[in-house]
Amino acid sequence: MAQLKLRYYPDPVLKQKAKKITIVDGSVRKLAQDMLDTMYKSDGVGLAAPQIGVSKRLMVIDVSSEDEPAKPIVFINPEIIEQDGEMVGQEGCLSFPDVFFEVKRYSRVVVRFQNLKGQTLKLTAENNLLCRAIQHEIDHLDGQLFIEKAVSQLKCDLEMTKAGLIDGDADALSRELSQQSSQVAAATEGETIKLKSDKKEHILK
């Protein structure tokens, strides 16, 4: 059992597009096992190879709960071949400790991938954590991070600031966020509200 070192934001490897795996051999199998060990140790539901510093198209997911037997899935060269609908839900990421906010995703995806035997498989996930995790981890393989997909940029900035990942004034962001929610709550149906903080300026300084 080997635990690998996690890479945290803003490590540049997280922004790279990962390379396709051409041969599924013993080294890929060992890497997948080490990634699963690392994911379980860190209480994650998914982990992509760039998050341990390896820029290859490999990711692991296990969405089983603690009282269930483990159900690891290893995805090699995963590709979404169908996607539709939408769902909004809370996400976190092992490369962003203590940062959680809502992200919008497709509510149904069909993913094609290879398994550790090199066989090509297809998997459909709909309206569940697996569906969300597949999209989050494939984004990692493309160098895309969930902070680019936050439903509320302000909430994302607040979480990032509180976690010490960006510079900012957490109290001011917090005030702005509560002002924004009361504005939204006070708006009548059909009314278009202009949210003054809905710009990207205070992100990622």
State yes or no: residue 154 binds Ni ion (CB under 5 A). no
Give the residue at shortest CB distance from Ni ion: 93
The angle at the Cα of 59, spanning 105 to 23, to the nearest 5 degrees, equals: 135
- Alpha-carbon torsion (112, 90, 106, 176), positive or negative: negative
* Minimum distance of Ni ion from residue 92's CB (angstroms): 8
Compare residues 39 and 93 and give the one whose CB is closer to Ni ion. 93
| Closest CB 95 distance from Ni ion, rounded Å | 6
Contacts of 146 by beta carbon, 8 Å cutoff, 6+ apart: 91, 93, 96, 103, 136, 139
137 is catalytic: yes
Min CB(195)–Ni ion separation in Å: 27
Residue type, 54: V
**Exposure of 7 by Cβ count < 10 A (0-12 exposed, 13-18 middle, 19+ buried)?**
middle
Segment contacting Ni ion by CB under 5 A, of 52-60, 73-81, 85-93, 116-124:
85-93
Cα–Cα distance between 76 and 114 in angstroms, integer? 5
Instruction: Give the burial string for 51-66 (b: 16+ CB within 10 Å, else e).
Output: bbebebbbbbbbbeee
Helices (H), 12-118: 26-41
Does residue 93 belong to the site contacting Ni ion (CB under 5 A)? Answer: yes
Site for Ni ion contains 24 (CB under 5 A): no
- In the complex with Ni ion, the residue whose CB is nearer, 24 or 141, is 141
Smallest gap from Cβ 94 to Ni ion, in A, equals 6
Contact string (CB under 5 A) for Ni ion, positions 41-80, x = contact: ----------------------------------------
Q: Which of 91, 137, 159, 176 is catalytic?
A: 137
DSSP alpha helix (H) spans, the chain: 26-41, 129-141, 153-162, 170-186
User: Judged by CB under 5 A, which stretch of 6-14, 87-95, 109-117, 147-155 contacts Ni ion?
Assistant: 87-95
- Give me the active site residues, please: 137
Residues within the interface to Ni ion (CB under 5 A): 93
